[in-house]
Amino acid sequence: MSEPDPTAYRHSVAFVLSQVGAHSAALFADRLKPLGVSPREFAVLSHIASGQPRTQQQLSELLGVHRNNMVSLIDQMETRGWVSRHRGEQDRRSFEIRPTPAGTHILARVNELIPDLDADLTAGLSKRDSRALADLLQAVAANLGLTPAVHPSVSVDRH
Amino acid sequence: MSEPDPTAYRHSVAFVLSQVGAHSAALFADRLKPLGVSPREFAVLSHIASGQPRTQQQLSELLGVHRNNMVSLIDQMETRGWVSRHRGEQDRRSFEIRPTPAGTHILARVNELIPDLDADLTAGLSKRDSRALADLLQAVAANLGLTPAVHPSVSVDRH
DNA sequence: TATTGTTATACTCTATAACTATA
DNA sequence: TATAGTTATAGAGTATAACAATA
């Protein structure tokens, strides 16, 4: 009767994916920090910049942040002058969250960082392999039913 | 002058990797839950089962858990009968953490879950693509200098 | 009656400081 | 003096419950 290998997990897709994903999220948060933006704030800006306006409720669903906690997140972004609240015209209970020019500007600056981050993550791979990795990950994401929302938490601190 | 695409991030390796990685970690935590094991407890068991004994200090470094917080983690695992503390013989300040038979048994049961989890994560991929993904992720992990420790946090809850 | 936003609260995870015993 | 373990405490992130305004 053979003992099971207690370190078998190290070769599993689940483990490496979790590990590399957490590292990637941490790297992203690190790059954002000098701009004074949290991953979650970036997520909010991305969603309201990409076209249709969003209510707090919609944003909380898209980001996987509880709507109770979305309040203080939007409060903070409003204080920093990145977004503004506008009473919904059809539904006067809700707030539309809209980006300010400053919010649009900081979003553009964050987006500029991403190609560099991607290059660092795939530094050990050939161009062909980098592309293959991106395609395979997209396929896995699609298979898992993951939408391009940032939910669940992209923000993972190190240490 | 063209506007930058505010949703460019959706196609970045960093984003998809973070997203899929977080989902993978959450799935893993979900599978562990029925066994009453947290990802962190699994990590401790894996490290002390894989050969040489470890002190709390070493475990905290390997797992990226602060040594202050390692105390209550080991306390809890000791209470559950999965590990035991033994004063270091050379250095009487330290504790060696050793798995009990129950700890070894629960670790084996968790390891049995992993192939199934991997299959679910790669359900949309061919056998060849699954293998390619695993290899590419291993290469990225190696390139980033990640060791088979569970640091940083593999435990990411959803909702 | 249900929903949006809000406040208060609690629980987990994480981070800092200070203590003890050993080195 | 430095280190391993410990304790207490404070800060994030996240969850539940309850309320006001609106539907």
The tens digit of pLDDT for each residue in A120-148 reads 999 989 999 999 999 999 999 999 888 76
Measured between alpha carbons, how far is residue A147 from residues A139, A141, A152, B16 in Å?
A: 12, 8, 10, 10
* Minimum Cα–Cα distance from A136: chain B residue: B133
Interface probe with B: pick from A3, A18, A67, A107, most Cβ of B within 10 Å? A18
DSSP conformational letter for B2: P
pLDDT tens digits, one per residue of A45-89? 999 997 778 999 999 998 889 999 999 999 999 999 999 999 999
Neighbours of B21 (CB within 10 A): 27
Tens of pLDDT, residues B117-154? 999 999 989 999 999 999 999 999 999 888 766 555 44
Q: Is the pLDDT of residue A25 over 70?
A: yes
Residue B109 tokens, joined: 């049961």
Nucleotide in closest CA–C1' contact with B67: D5
Cβ contact, residue pair B121, A140, below 8 Å: yes
For tokens 């503004």, what's the residue?
Answer: A84
For range B75-93, the mean pLDDT: 95
Residues B103 and B82: beta-carbon distance below 8 Å: yes
**In the predicted structure, residue A92 carries a pLDDT above the cut 60:** yes
Q: A22: part of which helix (H) or strand (E)?
A: helix A13-32
Q: Is A157 helix (H, G, I), strand (E, B) or coil?
A: coil
CA atoms of B113 and B152, how far apart (whole Å): 22
Average pLDDT over every residue of A93-121 = 95
Q: Is the pLDDT of residue A42 over 90?
A: yes
- Within chain B, where are the H helices? 13-32, 39-49, 56-63, 67-79, 101-121, 127-143
User: Could you tell me the end-to-end alpha-carbon distance of chain A, in angstroms, rounded to an integer?
Assistant: 40
Q: Which pTM was predicted?
A: 0.88
* Residues listed for chain B: 159
Query: Angle CA(A28)–CA(A29)–CA(A30) in degrees, nearest 5?
Result: 90
Test A6 with B156 for CB contact under 8 angstroms. Answer: no
Residues of A within 8 A of B132 (CB-CB) are: 132, 136
pLDDT tens digits, B16-44: 999 999 999 989 988 998 898 999 999 99
10 Å Cβ neighbour count for B37?
22
- Report pLDDT for B41: 93
pLDDT surpassing 50 at residue B48: yes
